[in-house]
Structure 1
Amino acid sequence: MPPAEEFAACLQKIKYGFNLLGELNRKIDNPSAADFVHSLFSTLQFVIPHCPENLSQTIIAPLFTPQCVRFMSEEATPEEDQLWQSLGDPWNIPSTQWPEDDEDIPTYTLEFYDGWQPPEVTAAPEPESRRESPEPPPKHQTSSKNQQIPRNQQPQPKPQSQSQVQPRPQSQVQPRPQPPPQKPRPVEIKICDLRVKHDFISRNSRELTVRRGEMVELLDKSRQWWKVRNGGGEEGYVPNNVLEDEEEQPDEAVASPVLTKKSKPAEVKAWLEDKGFSPITVRCLGVLSGSMLLGMSREELKTVCQEEGGRVFFQLQAVRSALANNS
């Protein structure tokens, strides 16, 4: 079997490939970016059983981009998603959610076994000749057969005059009907502008990734998850507890809930909701006291909350650091 270093290099290249596919989504076809996603998952299914145990959880760099995580969530089959979740936090937590003070994240530069590194790719301008290449003339103008036959032997009884020839391309090539003008988005559905309190990363095509401080338009709040539209025109659902209405905020800002070892279950629940965790995570962990929640390991949190256990752990790490500094 290859040494662990070669397995690690292989897994890094696979993560790098997933990130590239997040950027190439809807930009390549036959095969599409989605086809390559399934191909990389097939490669992982073959490689992971032969790797040293838990090696995948040590492959931090390169971290996945939010765009990559969103794309993989949309395309992964249930079997692929199960494999994906088993690889550990470095494969499930996007770069925007990874702790900024983590100094163990190495920089990653793609390099192959012979030392070759791909050059930086820049978009080349389209050649002028391709952009302005004229359309080929109509066949009736380029036919050598018609040019060689004397005019008096043409089947038409009457030759066409110049005034008749010039408009002919317009009569043959009918003008394409102009598409109806796009209707502007109806402003009636806009209820109000909201500010995002906490980052939220979507995991399927119905949800929308939003960033803290971003302004979004509220489109529908009839459910627990609200439908919003971001500044780029993208629409999707987000948990309502990650949004706030600045216009309705009181003059004195309400302090966010604080988690300590003395926090009661109700306070723990309020802290989880304030951090923007999903209702199922709040329901599972909101029954614990502060000391019990702060005492849980990453593995224990992942067992209770498979999807958000890693993110809860990193939020708790920040609380533990703050408590240690204050003690």
Structure 2
Amino acid sequence: SGLESGDVRMVVGTHALFQEKVNFENLGLVVTDEQQRFGVNQRRALLEKGANVDFLMMSATPIPRTYAHFLYGDIRLSSIKTMPPGRKPVKTKYVPTSSMKPILKEILSGIDTGRQCYVVCPMIDENLETNLKSVTTVYEGMLKTLPSKYRVALLHGRMKAEEKEEIMRRFADHEIDLLVSTTVIEVGIDVPNATMMVIYDAHRFGLSTLHQLRGRSARGKEQGVCFLLSKTKDPEAIERLKKLESLNDGFAISAYDLQSRGPGDLLGTRQSGLPTFILGDFEKDPAIMEVCVQDAKEILQAKVDKPMLDYVERSIKNARYFD
């Protein structure tokens, strides 16, 4: 009610902000942090709660669709290229296996020197059809096989908020050595001592997610290391994982992702895949795209074609945000 009456001028919130029942007196600016974690319709739902809302998107790893808007749309880009003081890029290693066995000695050795480790899995529960590692299976396996001196904990999205907060507090206080988790640790987690990470079935994650995840192990002064485990035989998936061994810049990763997956529908909701242009090829014709954008700006600035300008004005009033 405070937002609707205008008594509240600024609000910080989660996805709850774009629920249907939330209204704003005069929404003027939306800042979306970690914007790659939001769907097209989610961003649109929030923006459409105001008229001509200014939009600031923040991300360490823009998804292909957003990167395409930087190239061919009308988004002004500010880029911070430097890392925070004292931070080092994460060393990433692709390991063609579905088991921690080949790297276990290195992980335990790191823990013995006082470091901590994230272990990330794509599933909460075991699913025989997908044959993917689940956090519950990996967690239970560690409890059975690792010496009792290694303290292991479990974290996933189905746990109660208080339980999750308690686990993260204990991990931050170094009461836990190995945290077995889903992607809930992708953002908002800052444990400088946790400089090791293992990601099971890494081929099942997008490059932006993998880049975000491994960033959790680069919060301290020690050299962070991330192991990408995958037994996939898909050549393209293997190439993508190997690419992360050499790419550390979020924009470089997005550019590579854009080339390999496509940008999705710039006016639709698909966030990857090739757009359905009748003429032209997104990858092969970047110069044409740039010329189109420039021509459109010049035509609008010239203000000669009155019927077209009237049409554009009407369209803007009825337009839906496309990102």
Q: Same fold (TM over 0.5)?
A: no
Q: TM-score, normalised by structure 2?
A: 0.29
Q: TM-score, normalised by structure 1?
A: 0.29
| Structure with the larger RCO, 1 or 2 (CA within 8 Å, 6+ apart) | 2
